[in-house]
Amino acid sequence: GVDDKLGVTCATTYEVNTKKAAIEYSDTKILLTDSTKFGKIRISHFADLSNFDIIITDTGISEEYQKYIKNMGIKLYLV
């Protein structure tokens, strides 16, 4: 899930350490997720939105989230 206040979460706790390590050791941090994940919260937090340089999602993302992401200085690509 992707939430404007709680950040990026996943449903499986065993993936958290791997995802955190990938973010920590990446030069460019890219979040690839479909628009249905925005506004959803899952059990395991692994990153804040501000940790990402780029977010790639589909055109179903709301205008509200688009503005929020762009205002954070994160590049947003709709595909």
Strands 44-47 and 54-57: unpaired
| Whole-angstrom distance, CA of residue 33 vs CA of residue 74 | 14
Place of tokens 């939105």: 49
How much is the pLDDT for 43?
A: 96
Q: Where residue 11 falls among pLDDT bands split at 50, 70, 90?
A: very high
Q: Supply the range of the domain harboring residue 64.
A: 2-78
The predicted structure's pLDDT at residue 24: 96
pLDDT of residue 31: 98
Q: How confident is the model at residue 22 (pLDDT cuts 50, 70, 90)?
A: very high
Number of domains in the chain: 1
* pTM beyond 0.85, yes or no: yes
